[in-house]
Structure formats: structure tokens, C-alpha cells
Structure 1
């Protein structure tokens, strides 16, 4: 399986294309096929109110268009994109993301700082060896994430608005050679913001401290004198302080000539100052640099989800998966819609709504194949999906099963089932009722992943008066709007549906 992921930061956007190793027996085992970095510099495209300007929107759209084209050339149908601080804090961030989708066909899903830290820690865990207790500092242009955890995942995450670009603008925007006052202002801001949380991330005996950021990589390159990869390179906090003192004395033009600094000449002073102040406050003495970060964590999560999903399939569901691959379906989206569909069915069954024994298998197959018709055309692709399913020779399913799967997929969008539809009316009454109910679940599930970000989770489905309430988390504004728009058949079959969004910190 091939996957393309990208992260959109305050300073730059990165694409990573990879595939799972053939016969990999470890989740997240992959090889990189291609990568691309675009210095979008969205941090300089914010107006006085913090809104993303048209120039920033244009830069992002151009970058994501290139990412999509490169992914397509590698045989990947879609790029999963997560946006961090710049779009997260922009008041118009969700509107920009929706316009970017309409313009490029790629949706930059905005994630929280905590989610960013979680994924970055995952990327780090697959890049350097972690111990029983680890503290990660990930410095971006807009924010600084802290994460503490064990060998595999983070247990505690904090995000603070202390990014290198943000601190440069706040305290070093008129930087001159040897600006001690500005550096002191940066470090005082770090200490003030981190002090209330320092106990959570205090370095103890045996704690391994990891840095993940372009600033940390630049520092490691300069201090070690290495060219190429610096993954796993370590240095002391005292060495970091010495580097800060050395670099602050240089003009930006001179800094740019130092190997490893390059395009970071304008923000490296603030970045080093932020890291030094934070590490000193936490009591760190030595650090290790990881080149694995957010996008590697995204990639590992995506591949692991798919490997877990595919390993648990029955023989006939593996046939469905093979068919989806053959027709170029977005497997990440298909998997997510299938999971959400089954969660809705589980909630209905728990509430006493009966379904035949084979309903779950039919729903899973329809969810996996609902967008295969896009290989024919985007327009009316729901009808094309039904046609392809009927002629795909799905192993393990009889003609009766295949027809029901085809019709459920056909009704995942657009018109609801009705008497004027000849194919629908050829079904026995019991099958028409089942197709309508399964389609109702599929429509809502598809809406809940309208962004194709794969973040939405269903926590519960309960009766509420004459209708239902579903508790969800992780949904983007686009997902929530999509689910509400596509709840029409659900309302007809089961009653009204209300969406209750759980706060991110409680999800």
C-alpha cells in the first residue's frame, strides 16, 4: 500500500510518499518513495487580526497542487494533509481550508497542538531509540510542543505559542547584531509560559530528551560538522548555549553562510533561544535530535491503521479490498467510512434496532467500494460504483449479496431510494428496507469523513426523544457539515439525528 501525507506548518509544507514494506510484520514499517518541501512561509501571510491573507491562500494552494501531482505520479490517489499553527490560529482558518479543497481537491485538516504532539512523538519513536521515560520538544514556526511518554507513545502533551517565527516577530523583528535584549525577552517569554507546566516535563534521572525541528537539526549540523543525515546526533545544552552566543553575534547574511543554517538565518536566533530556555528550565543536560517528526507520525499511523484493518478481514472482505485497490479507491477514506458505518450500526443494535446477520458484512463492503465509480467519472460516480460492483466478481459473495452491496453504494450520495428507481424496485420488500437502512448509515458515515482527514470518531449513539444523538470527536467543520447534509435518509429511516461534538481534551 502506498500513502502520501503532508504537513502544513508556519514556515514550510512537507510531502512524504511511502509504501509499506512487502511482507512487513511490524506496523509502520515502510520505505520512502519521494519527498518534497515547499517554503510556503504562511507565517508572513497573516493580517493584523491573524487571518490568512489571499497571498497565503495562494501559496498553500500552489504547494498542495504540486503535492497532489507528485503523489498521483507515484500512484497515490490522494494526499492526507494536516495543518498546524498558522491555520489553526487564523480566525478564518476553516474557511481557507474549505476554499483550498474547492480549488485543489485537497483538504488541509487543521489539527490541535495536542494532536500534533501525539503524531510527532509517534514519528520520533520510529526514528530514534526511546527509553522508558522520554521528553520531546518539537519547535515549529508558530508553536512549541512538549510530549512525555514511553518507548511507543506519548502520555502527556502540551502545546504553547512559542514558535521561532512568532518569537522573532514579537521580540527580534528589529534584530541587530548582538541583540541581547531581544534574546532575553524571548527567553523570559518561554520561562513565563512554561513555568506553570514545568513539573509535568521535568527531566529526571534516566529521562531521554529528544528535539525534533528544523532548528534542532540546524543546531546539530553546525555543532557536529556533519553533512547529510543528523538523525540521532546528540549535543549538550551547554553546547547549545555556546552556539546561541556565537550565532547572535553574526548578521543574518553571515549566519546564512554557516553550513546547516541556510534559510533559517532570520529565525535561528529566536529558535535557539526558545530551545535553550525551555531545556534549561526543565533541567536537561544533553539532547538527541530526531529527523522523524509530524509527517513521519502521520505516515506510520496511516499505514498501521491499514495493516490492522486488512489483517482482520475475512477472505471475502479481502476480495472487497482487492477490488477497491484495483479501481483506485482511496483506501484510507474507505476504511474510515467503513469503521464509522459499523459504529453507527453497533449503536443502533445496542438500542434494540434489529438487522439480519449478514447486514454488517454488506455494509462494510459497500463502504469500502462506495467511491470506486470515480475511476469512470466524478459525475454520477455513485451510479458508476453500483455498476462496477455488479461486474467485479467479488469472491465469497453470491449474486443476491452483490446486488444489495451495489445498491447500498449507489445511494451513498444524491437521490434517496424511491419507487421510480427501477433497480431498487426489483428487490423484494425486505431487501428494499435493508438497503435503505444501510444506505442511511453509509451516507452519514461518508459525511463524517467529508474532509478525508480520517479524524472523526464516534463515541456513542443513543435515543433522544423521537430521534438520535451521536457523540463524536475529531470532526473538522467540513465533516460536521457533510454529516448534517447527508442525514436525510437517516431521518427518514430512523428519526432525527443530532450531532454532539465532544471537546477535544475530553475525547
Structure 2
């Protein structure tokens, strides 16, 4: 399975292409690309992203999409952090990006960002029983504490390098008083939370971010150690303090000549000052740098979700996923829609709606293959999907079952089943009813992953009068819109559907 993920930050955007399924759950990086979008420079006085910022973001997303498509990866998953998260027009910008580029950047919370960054770092260096991670971006600083694999505590503070440069170090050279004021702000904001991330004798302190990697490069050069990758490089808070003073005192041109600082000379003083103050408050002494960060965490999570899903499939459902892969379908989206469809069906059955035993297997197969027709063309791909399914070798399914799967997939979008559709009308009455009811389920499930972010999670489904109420967590605004637009057949078959998004710890 090939995966393309990207993160959009305040300073830069990064793309990572990788192939999973290797021994031991490992993955192989196929390609990567960094685009210095510098969205933090493109905010008006009210914090809105300007048209120039939108153009920069659209240009990066188009480049990312082109590269992932050339690698044979049909879907690009993008998460946006502080720049869009805090912009009042962030949601509108994300929607316009989908219109302009075909890519929807999902805006995630600082807590979700910290969790994924911790996951990425934990797969890049060896974590112990107790670890504290600091990840410094352009707009925010994330703290995460946890064990060998997952974060248990996460905090996000508005202390990013670009933000703090603008607030305290707009004038060159950076004076001691200005740096002291910046660090006082860091200490003030962190103080109420410091106990949660206080460093103990056995705590491993990890830094991830471009600033941390740049600091490791500069310190390694000062030690006359060979350059290159800095993953796993360690240094002390005292060394960081020395580097901060050296950098603060240097003129911008001289600062840019320090190894590692070539492309961040304008924000490196603030970045080092933020990290030094935060580490001092937490009582850290020794640090380790991780090159694994948010995008690596996104990659690992997506691969893990897919393998967890596929590991529970029956032999014939594995045949379905193999067919989906052969047709170039987006397997992450296919498995998410299949899981949502199965979950919705199970909730309907629990609420007393009658379905035959075969319904679950049929709707899962149709969900996995519903976009297979994209290999033919985007236009009318639902009809192409039905044709391909009819002529595919779906092991374990009878000809009747294969036809039902084809028709359920055919009705995942556009027109619902009608009396004017000959292939639908030749089915026995009971099969026509089953196709229509399963298509209603699939349409809502597909809508709930319209952003292709894989974040929607089902809660309770309850009868309310003549209709239904469905609780959701993690659904993006685009997912909610998609499900509401595609609930027409559900309303016809079961009654009107109301969606309620509940608070969660994710997006």
C-alpha cells in the first residue's frame, strides 16, 4: 500500500510518499518534498489568510498532488496546523483549496497535532517509559508526554517561532532585553501547565521541528562532527543557551552562515529562545532530536488503520480489497467508508430495522469498490464501478451477490434507484429493496468521508419521531456537508437523518 501525506504549517509545508506493508510493519520512503509556503507572512491585521497566502498554499498543494499522482498514489491526505487553525477564514480557505486543487487540507487541533507528532517521533528514535516531546512550529509550540508509543498528555501554546519573532524581535539586531521579554512570555504561558511536563531523572526529552534540527546541525558543526542527518543527535540545554547567545549577537548575514541556519536566519533567534525558556521551566538538562514529526505520525497512523481493518477481513473480503487495489482505488478511503457503512448497518439492525444476514458482507464489498470506476473516468464513475464489479473475479461471491454489490456501488452517488433503470428493475422485488436500503447506507457512509481524512467516528444512532439522529466525532465540516447532501435515499428508506457532531480530542 502506497500512502501520500502532507502537513501545512505556518512556515513550510511538507509532503511524504511512502510504501507500507513491509516486514515488521515498516515502511519505505519513496519521495519527499518541502515547500516554504511561509503562510505566516500572509496574514492581515485580523489574522485572515490573504489572497497571496491562498495562492502560495494552492501552488504547494498542486505540486504535492502532481508528485503523488506520478508515484501512482491516488489520494493525498493533508493536515493543516496553526496557520489555518487560527485564521478566522481558515475553514473557507480549506474549502477553496478543494475547489482550486482537488485537495482538502483538514484543519486539526493543536492537541491532535501533538499526538501525531509524538507518534512520528516515537517511530524515529527509541522512546523510554517516560518521554516529554517539544515540537516548535511557526505558530505554536506543542508539548506531549507519554510512554514508548503514545502521548497521554498534550498541550499546545501560541509560541511559534514566526509568531514570537513578529511580537518581540521585529527589529535587528535582537537585543538582550527583547529576547528576555520573549522568554518571559514563554515562562508566563507555560507556568500553569509546567507540572504536567516536568522532567524527572528518568525522563527522556525529545525535540522535533526545523528549529531543533537546525540547532543540532549547528552544535554538531561546532563539535566538528560530520553533518548529515541529525536524528538521534543529543546536546545539552547549556549548549543550546550558548548557541542562542551566539546567534542573537550575530548580524543576519553572519547568522545565515551558521550551519543549519541558512534558510531560517530571520526566525532562528526566536525559535532558540522559545525552546531554551520552555526547557528551563521544565527542568530539562539533556535533549535528543527526532527527525520524525507530524507527517511521519500521519503516515504511521494511516498505515496502522488500514492494516487493522484489513487484518479482520474474511477471505472473500480480502479478495475485494485486492480487486480495489488492482483498479487503483484509494484503499484508505475505501476501508474507511466500508467501516462506516458496516457501523451504520449494525446500528440500524440494533434499532430494529430488518436486514438479511448477507447485508453486511454486501455493503462492505460495495463500499470497498465504490470508486473503482475512477480508473475509467471521473465522469459517471459510479456506473463504471458497477461495470467493473460485474466483470471482476470476486472470489467467494455468487453471481447474484456480485450483481447486488455492483448495483449498491452504482448508487453511491447521483441518482437513487429508479423504475426507469432496467438493470435495477430486472432484480426480484426483495433484491431491489435490499439494493435501495444498502445504497442508502453507503451514500451516508461515503459522505462521512468526503474530505478523505478518515477521521469520522460513529456514535449512537437513535430513532427520533419519524426520523433518526446520529452522533459523530471527528467529522470535518466537509464530511458533515457530504453526509447531509447524500442522506436523500436514507430519508426515503428509513426517515430523515439528523447529524450531531460531538466534541472530541481530534480535529
TM-score (norm 2): 0.98
The 2-side partners of 1:326 and 1:73 are apart by 17
SS of equivalent to 2:44? coil
- Aligned equivalent of 1:376: 376
Match of 1:133 among 112, 115, 130: 130
SS of equivalent to 1:36? strand
Moved more, 79-88 or 308-317: 308-317
Alignment of 1:76-95 (within 5 A): 76-95=73-92
Please, what is the CA RMSD of the aligned residues? Answer: 1.1
Deviations 1:24-73 (A, max 9, x none): 233xx101010000000011111111111111111111111111111111
- Aligned equivalent of 1:346: 346
The 1-side partners of 2:433 and 2:455 are apart by 31
- Aligned equivalent of 2:205: 209
SS of equivalent to 2:387? helix
- How far residue 505 of structure 1 moved from its aligned partner, in angstroms, is 3.8
The 2-side partners of 1:339 and 1:182 are apart by 53
Contact 1:390 1:403 in 2 (8 A): yes
- Aligned equivalent of 2:243: 243
Alignment of 1:149-228 (within 5 A): 149-174=146-171, 176-225=172-221, 226-228=226-228
Contact 2:235 2:287 in 1 (8 A): yes
Matched, 1:49 2:63: no
SS of equivalent to 2:328? coil
Moved more, 97-106 or 364-373: 97-106
The 1-side partners of 2:174 and 2:301 are apart by 44
The 2-side partners of 1:505 and 1:64 are apart by 26
Gaps of 5+ in 2: none
SS of equivalent to 1:333? helix
- How far residue 465 of structure 1 moved from its aligned partner, in angstroms, is 2.1
The 2-side partners of 1:63 and 1:177 are apart by 32
Contact 1:21 1:31 in 2 (8 A): no
Deviations 1:106-133 (A, max 9, x none): 1111111111111100000100000011
CA gap 1:178/1:63 in 2 versus in 1, 3 angstroms: closer
Match of 1:70 among 45, 67, 72: 67
- How far residue 178 of structure 1 moved from its aligned partner, in angstroms, is 4.4
The 2-side partners of 1:506 and 1:486 are apart by 24
Deviations 1:70-91 (A, max 9, x none): 1111111111111100011111
- Aligned equivalent of 1:256: 256
- Aligned equivalent of 2:499: 499
Contact 2:341 2:445 in 1 (8 A): yes
SS of equivalent to 2:382? helix
SS of equivalent to 1:504? coil
The 1-side partners of 2:457 and 2:64 are apart by 27
Deviations 1:315-359 (A, max 9, x none): 111111111111111111111111111111121122122211111
Contact 2:108 2:506 in 1 (8 A): no
- How far residue 506 of structure 1 moved from its aligned partner, in angstroms, is 9.0
The 2-side partners of 1:460 and 1:148 are apart by 31
- How far residue 21 of structure 1 moved from its aligned partner, in angstroms, is 4.5
Deviations 1:275-322 (A, max 9, x none): 011111111111110000000001111111122222221111111111
The 2-side partners of 1:37 and 1:164 are apart by 18
The 2-side partners of 1:149 and 1:326 are apart by 40
- How far residue 205 of structure 1 moved from its aligned partner, in angstroms, is 2.0
Deviations 1:400-430 (A, max 9, x none): 0011001100110011112111111111111
- Aligned equivalent of 2:24: 25
- How far residue 194 of structure 1 moved from its aligned partner, in angstroms, is 0.8
Runs of 4+ in 1 over 2 A off after TM superposition: 504-507
Match of 2:57 among 57, 60, 74: 60
SS of equivalent to 2:301? helix
- Aligned equivalent of 2:33: 36
Matched, 1:99 2:96: yes
- Aligned equivalent of 1:488: 488
SS of equivalent to 1:458? strand
CA gap 1:138/1:221 in 2 versus in 1, 3 angstroms: same
CA gap 1:178/1:65 in 2 versus in 1, 3 angstroms: closer
SS of equivalent to 1:275? helix
The 1-side partners of 2:505 and 2:189 are apart by 20
The 2-side partners of 1:350 and 1:91 are apart by 41
Gaps of 5+ in 1: none
TM-score (norm 1): 0.98
Matched, 1:270 2:270: yes
The 1-side partners of 2:216 and 2:123 are apart by 19
SS of equivalent to 1:57? helix
SS of equivalent to 1:145? strand
- How far residue 502 of structure 1 moved from its aligned partner, in angstroms, is 0.8
